[in-house]
Chains A and B, each alone.
Chain A
Amino acid sequence: MYLSVRVDTEKCIGCKICITSCPEPNVFIFLPEQKLVEVNESRCKACGLCTTTCPKDALSIS
């Protein structure tokens, strides 16, 4: 079964806390215009660290 983190774009405020709490490089890409993060799903190992640090619960593993 393949797991990855998903971003709820309505809840995300672009605070970038997930970017500095992810042990994998280049998973989160910050979009400065929309103030959102995007996920590169092929690089995510689904450890779930970002979901515990997100202040808005915008991230989930599925």
Chain B
Amino acid sequence: MKTGMLKISPGFEEIMPPEYRELVDNGPYGKDYGIGDLGSYKELLEEHPLCAGCGLALSLRLTLASLPMPEDTVIVGSTGCSALAFPQVALHNIHSLFGNQNAVASGLKRALKLRFPEKEKDVVVIAGDGATADIGLDMVMQSWLRREKITTIMLDNEAYANTGGQESGMSMQGAVLNMAPTGKKFPKLSLPEIAHTCGCAYVAAASPAKPKQLAKVVRRAILVAREIGPTYVQLYSPCPTNYKFNPKETVSLIKQREKDGLYQSKEYISQEAQAFLESIEVKK
């Protein structure tokens, strides 16, 4: 994206919405802002319709804040709770059919490579657990097997949250939800291990309870995807509406789960990615 195209034509400043004016004056485009600068600039996300205390919204907000080059990033989304927030994101984004997000992103990445051969364009897939692990697992795995240079970020809320609370492949065994009253019968799918086996150069599982770690893994995943190959990040973001807990307990629930050993952060780095990360992280 050319940052100049954001500028408001003279004479139209007054009729533009205040959020847009704020974004032009104090937006993060072209500046190397990180998660530590939150609160001092206008964020890419604007008032979203997700529930109060939503873990997914928190993960999405922190992910958007830790993008290394927001102006050259294209986000591919899919149906789900996260798709409700994408109209409020001030980045190029594409909404795909349910489960098709990685197939769309593969084509997009190849087209961008042909159109802008001298420029780096990051294609980041941000989708929920239903789109990544259940309905779109075929497309997601095939994109990893083809070694497409895209980043796949899964916002794992462990349910189909915006259709009333059905169990998903990522729900814990025994989880009782509105539309799964007898509890889930089989265990949670371990997608980081699948991604690692499918040949992802960088695989990580993190949560918004540790924002700095989340920012680090998202940044690393995008940088590795530019040079080496597919990357996968799984962000555990609990849903207060469907799991029926108090919205203010989202972060403490993640910490409790971590203590009980039901959730753990992971990181698998291939040798090539390790060498690449060491070469760029020393320069910082």
Report A's interface with B, CB cutoff 8 A. 16, 19-26, 28-30, 32, 37, 43, 45-49, 51-53
Contacts A16-B39, A47-B53, A49-B53 hold; do A25 and B45 have CB atoms under 8 A apart?
yes
Does A49 lie within 8 Å of B39, measured CB to CB?
A: no
Does A53 lie within 8 Å of B251, measured CB to CB?
A: yes
Does B58 lie within 8 Å of A22, measured CB to CB?
A: yes
CA distance A53 to B249 in the complex (A): 10
Query: Taking CB as reference atom, which chain B residue is nearest A14?
Result: B39
Query: Considering the complex, which residues of chain B in the window 167-215 have a beta carbon less than 8 Å from any beta carbon of chain A?
Result: 208, 211
Q: List 12 A-B contacts (CB under 8 A).
A: A16-B38, A21-B58, A23-B52, A24-B57, A25-B43, A25-B48, A29-B39, A30-B38, A46-B52, A47-B54, A47-B248, A47-B250
Residues in B neighbouring A22, C-beta threshold 8 A: 58, 61
Does B53 lie within 8 Å of A48, measured CB to CB?
A: yes
- 9 shortest interchain CB distances as A-B pairs: A48-B248, A47-B53, A30-B39, A47-B52, A23-B57, A20-B211, A45-B52, A47-B247, A23-B58
CB distance from A14 to the nearest CB of B (A): 10
CB distance from B106 to the nearest CB of A (A): 30
- Is B71 engaged at the interface, CB distance under 8 Å to the other chain? no
CA distance A48 to B35 in the complex (A): 21
